[in-house]
Amino acid sequence: ALLAFALASTPVAARAAPEWNTSVLVGAAGTGRAAAWSEGHFFGALHADALFGRSRDGDAAVGPSLELGTVGFSDVRLLGGPTTLIPLGDLLSLSVTPGIYFRSSPTASCPGLSARAFFGARGYDFGEHYSLAGGLTFGFDEDLSSAHEHTLVIAARLDAALIALPVLLLYEWLRGPSD
């Protein structure tokens, strides 16, 4: 009994450092009022999140998420909310982000409710705080204005580090060797 008590009361160092990610979302958005998808548009966004509570691939995590995007280049949307990451194995995961947003366009500006779901690869990096991510994002935005316009989103989520890598390699090649 004394050994069990000693093992149970031994402090364990927490290794769950926050991990963060930045991504680019590129896809399609359908807008409408009565119909689910009455008009189709380009959707693009920059996404960032920070997750807390993971110390390995199989751990769930929670944290804040921000997104700055546009639908058809006709508005600017700022979304924010809590993200919950649920691992579906060593590499695949599902994350759900309920939130709020503010949309500004030449015709109107209004707040709204938002939801995003991500399905794809989101590994845990044991050596760094950055976590690569890539997959599909599905979303729904509902304006709280009198127009009650809604937007359905389906987009590819591309990790910003992987997009930046060719640019950095080209820069280093053009710069040449350092003396």
What's residue 12's pLDDT? 45
Least confident of 82-91, 130-139, 167-176: 167-176
Cβ neighbourhood burial of 21 (10 Å; 0-12, 13-18, 19+): buried
Q: Are 43 and 25 in contact (CB under 8 A)?
A: yes
Model pLDDT for residues 27-51, shown as the tens digit of each residue? 999 999 877 788 999 999 999 999 9
* pLDDT at residue 11 is higher than 60: no
Residue type present at position 120: G
What's residue 179's pLDDT? 67
Cα distances from 96 to residues 55, 93, 121, 122, 167, in angstroms, run 20, 10, 14, 13, 31
What's residue 163's pLDDT? 87
What's residue 56's pLDDT? 84
More confident residue, 131 or 9: 131
Q: Which tokens go with 123?
A: 């590994």
Average pLDDT over residues 89-116: 94
CA–centroid distance for 33 within its chain: 26
User: Which of 122, 121, 102 minimizes the C-alpha distance to 112?
Assistant: 102
Instruction: Tell me the percentage of the chain whose pLDDT exceeds 70.
Output: 91
User: Which of 20, 21, 88, 97 minimizes the C-alpha distance to 60?
Assistant: 88
What's residue 65's pLDDT? 98
Average pLDDT over residues 56-68: 93
Concatenated DSSP letters of 12-79: -------EEEEEEEEEEEEEESSSS-SEEEEEEEEEEEEEBS-SSTT--EEEEEEEEEEETTS-EEEE
* pLDDT at residue 10 is higher than 70: no
Q: How far apart are CA 43 and CA 53, in angstroms?
A: 31
Q: Which tokens go with 113?
A: 């409710």
What's residue 16's pLDDT? 58
pTM equals: 0.82
